[in-house]
């Protein structure tokens, strides 16, 4: 018989960051499972199979350049860089958790893309006559998108969970993603090329719900490490710039050939540019001396790209894209200043990277912006063919009105949030079990729990010489120490 107090003891047990058995076991077993499942289900599609030569002849295709690879691969590479470099380096801002930021991001993505190819394949590209999933370059892009949801969730848990917990989070995150994506894109027939709803709103609320369940009342014991240093913020800024530069590719990667893709890139580009200026404005206004906060510049400057994920391929107009970016820079920066501290204090929600302000809220807003733009679309703006093409109003959806389409777009946003919150709460409860090797409260935000860390940083003498009253006395020492640290 478990009384409430013994259950509390069960979950509030002494944590130990020991993963020597669980991490190799999970990694080996799951990778072998992937090999078996791929062997049973996954095959090359017609454009990546050696039968392409015959297919070309039978379909009167004159050139290999018409193979989808040449059309989609540049976008795939950009998205791939965002997932592995952009997200990875964005998470290196913690002073002693850069290995964990980049390294565990790498682990999540490498496992996640394999599982995503299977999960999305079963829902979207399973050939029922053969029981096989046929994959090509577009499937690789979609798998990267799928993994992005779990990487966003990792942002809320950065520094507080073990690599085994992250693999479990990814297993469930990719599964939930594939289901909500199927409901939103196939059953509700929403358009969401850049994933405001299915990627950002879902991933954001999924991570927040898990973080809420895994609340640590004694996290203040690691407070000394829950912050950045000069060089860690520079590294994180590299992630920001990669994400910022490639976001037009992210939002346009799987849109329709031609005008849809062209428009998505333009709108995202403009929204991001607008977002930077309002982020800088609010960040400067908030400080008594008008100085900028690197947290805002690293994160809120990307909110415009998130919020344009759904509407990017619509005729939102260039100035409309600027307005969305303008508003999101303000909303996201205010989120970092006021909402994150409030969530931690009042709702017991510890969100390390502030994904609430960069993904959850802008993703939700992006879904509703898409709904409004869809509901107000008309033939004079799009042309008859353009409307059918942009909103895919063919077959059984041929008679759907644009007002109805807008309603379904809004419903899709709500589905994504519900999946994130409910799924995250359940997964959080699973991750609470005392078997995953998560770090103790006084050992969070520290690479030493899971990584072999070089010792050179430990041997640097105390940084007393930087204190103002000793500057002149130790000028030469300070300079040599600084240069050693940089090397």
Dmax of the chain from CA atoms?
83
Label residue 398 exposed, middle or buried (CB < 10 Å: 0-12, 13-18, 19+). exposed
The whole-angstrom separation of Cα 255 and Cα 253 is 6
Q: What percent of the chain has pLDDT over 70?
A: 90
What is the mean predicted confidence (pLDDT) over 464-485?
43
User: Looking at residue 456, what is its pLDDT?
Assistant: 64
Question: Which strand (E) or helix (H) includes residue 72?
Answer: helix 68-81
End-to-end distance of the chain based on CA atoms, in angstroms? 59
The 8-class DSSP code of residue 17 comes to -
User: Looking at residue 256, what is its pLDDT?
Assistant: 84
SS3 456: helix
8 A C-beta contact, residue 299 and residue 87: no
Q: What's the chain's average pLDDT?
A: 89
Position 157 pLDDT exceeds 80: yes
Confidence of residue 364 (pLDDT cuts 50, 70, 90): very high
Question: Which strand (E) or helix (H) includes residue 34?
Answer: helix 22-41
Confidence of residue 467 (pLDDT cuts 50, 70, 90): very low
Position 213 pLDDT exceeds 60: yes
Confidence of residue 433 (pLDDT cuts 50, 70, 90): confident
Instruction: Give the pLDDT confidence of 265-292 residue by residue, as tens digits.
Output: 999 999 999 999 999 999 999 999 999 9
For residue 42, list its beta bridge partners: 133
Confidence of residue 52 (pLDDT cuts 50, 70, 90): very high
Residue corresponding to tokens 């479990």:
168
Instruction: Give the pLDDT confidence of 239-275 residue by residue, as tens digits.
Output: 999 999 999 999 999 988 889 999 999 999 999 999 9
User: What's the total number of domains in the chain?
Assistant: 1
Instruction: Give the pLDDT confidence of 14-42 residue by residue, as tens digits.
Output: 567 788 888 999 999 999 999 999 999 99
Q: Is residue 378 part of a domain?
A: yes
8 A C-beta contact, residue 375 and residue 406: yes
Q: Is residue 59 part of a domain?
A: no
Residue 179's nearest CA partner among 146, 155, 130 is 146
Position 231 pLDDT exceeds 80: yes
390-370-118 Cα angle (round to 5): 75
Confidence of residue 334 (pLDDT cuts 50, 70, 90): very high
265-48-52 Cα angle (round to 5): 115
8 A C-beta contact, residue 267 and residue 315: no
Q: Is residue 347 part of a domain?
A: yes
Residue 438's nearest CA partner among 154, 17, 1, 10 is 17
Sheet holding 126-127, edge to edge: 42-44, 132-135, 126-127
**Higher-scoring residue by pLDDT: 475, 158:** 158
Q: Is residue 250 part of a domain?
A: yes
The residue segments making up the domain with residue 37 are: 21-47+66-449
Q: Is residue 98 part of a domain?
A: yes
What is the mean predicted confidence (pLDDT) over 110-125?
95
Confidence of residue 473 (pLDDT cuts 50, 70, 90): very low
Residue 416's nearest CA partner among 155, 157, 199 is 199
The whole-angstrom separation of Cα 421 and Cα 237 is 29
Label residue 149 exposed, middle or buried (CB < 10 Å: 0-12, 13-18, 19+). buried
User: Looking at residue 465, what is its pLDDT?
Assistant: 42
User: Looking at residue 475, what is its pLDDT?
Assistant: 44
* Structure tokens belonging to residue 363: 């993703």
**Higher-scoring residue by pLDDT: 285, 10:** 285
Whole-number Cα distances in Å, 169 to 96, 206, 210, 429, 430? 23, 10, 9, 11, 9
Out of 10-19, 115-124, 133-142, which region has the weakest mean confidence (pLDDT)? 10-19
Position 478 pLDDT exceeds 50: no
CATH number of the domain that 135 lies in?
1.10.3430.10
User: Looking at residue 237, what is its pLDDT?
Assistant: 95
User: Looking at residue 268, what is its pLDDT?
Assistant: 97
The whole-angstrom separation of Cα 151 and Cα 91 is 10
The whole-angstrom separation of Cα 371 and Cα 211 is 29
- This prediction has a pTM of 0.89
Q: Is residue 467 part of a domain?
A: no
User: Looking at residue 192, what is its pLDDT?
Assistant: 94
The whole-angstrom separation of Cα 51 and Cα 93 is 48
Q: Is residue 395 part of a domain?
A: yes
User: Looking at residue 466, what is its pLDDT?
Assistant: 42
The whole-angstrom separation of Cα 337 and Cα 350 is 15
Residue corresponding to tokens 């931690």:
344
Q: Is residue 60 part of a domain?
A: no
Q: Give the number of other Cβ atoms within 10 Å of residue 79's Cβ.
A: 26
């Amino acid at each position: 018989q478990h009384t409430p107090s013994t259950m509390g003891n069960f979950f509030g047990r002494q944590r130990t960051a020991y993963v020597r058995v669980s991490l190799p076991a999970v990694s080996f077993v799951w990778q072998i499972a992937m090999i078996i499942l791929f062997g049973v289900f996954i095959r090359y599609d017609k454009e990546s199979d050696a039968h392409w030569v015959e297919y070309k002849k039978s379909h009167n295709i004159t050139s290999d350049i018409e193979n989808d690879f040449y059309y989609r691969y540049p976008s795939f590479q950009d998205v791939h860089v965002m997932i592995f470099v952009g997200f990875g380096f964005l998470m290196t801002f913690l002073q002693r958790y850069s290995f964990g930021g980049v390294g565990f991001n790498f682990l999540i993505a490498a496992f996640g893309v394999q599982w995503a190819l299977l999960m999305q394949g079963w829902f979207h590209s399973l050939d029922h006559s053969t029981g096989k999933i046929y994959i090509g370059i577009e499937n690789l892009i979609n798998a990267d998108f799928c993994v992005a949801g779990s990487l966003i969730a990792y942002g809320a848990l950065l520094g507080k969970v073990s690599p085994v917990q992250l693999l479990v989070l990814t297993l469930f995150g990719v599964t939930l993603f594939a289901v909500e994506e199927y409901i939103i894109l196939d059953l509700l027939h929403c358009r969401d090329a850049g994933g405001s709803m299915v990627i950002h709103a879902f991933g954001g609320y999924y991570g927040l719900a898990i973080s809420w369940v895994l609340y640590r009342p004694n996290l203040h014991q690691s407070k000394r490490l829950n912050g950045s240093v000069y060089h860690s913020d520079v590294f994180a800024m590299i992630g920001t710039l990669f994400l910022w530069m490639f976001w037009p590719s992210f939002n346009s990667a799987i849109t329709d050939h031609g005008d849809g893709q062209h428009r998505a890139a333009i709108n995202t580009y403009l929204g991001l540019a607008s977002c930077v200026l309002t982020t800088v404005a609010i960040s400067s206004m908030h400080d008594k001396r008008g100085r900028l906060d690197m947290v805002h510049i690293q994160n809120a400057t990307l909110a415009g790209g998130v919020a344009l994920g759904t509407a990017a391929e619509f005729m939102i107009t260039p100035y409309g894209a600027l307005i969305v970016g303008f508003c999101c820079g303000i909303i996201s920066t205010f989120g970092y200043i006021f909402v994150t501290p409030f969530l931690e204090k009042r709702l017991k929600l510890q969100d390390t990277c502030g994904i609430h302000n960069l993904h959850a809220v802008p993703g939700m807003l992006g879904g509703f912006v898409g709904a409004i733009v869809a509901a107000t679309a008309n033939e004079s703006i799009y042309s008859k063919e353009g409307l059918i093409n942009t909103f895919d109003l063919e077959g059984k959806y041929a008679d759907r009105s644009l007002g109805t389409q807008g309603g379904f777009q809004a419903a899709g946003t709500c589905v994504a949030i519900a999946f994130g919150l409910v799924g995250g709460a359940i997964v959080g409860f699973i991750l609470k079990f005392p078997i995953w090797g998560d770090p103790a409260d006084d050992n969070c935000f520290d690479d030493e729990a899971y990584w072999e860390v070089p010792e050179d940083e430990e041997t640097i003498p105390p940084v007393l010489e930087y204190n103002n009253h000793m500057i002149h006395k130790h000028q030469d020492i300070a300079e040599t120490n600084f240069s050693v640290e940089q090397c």
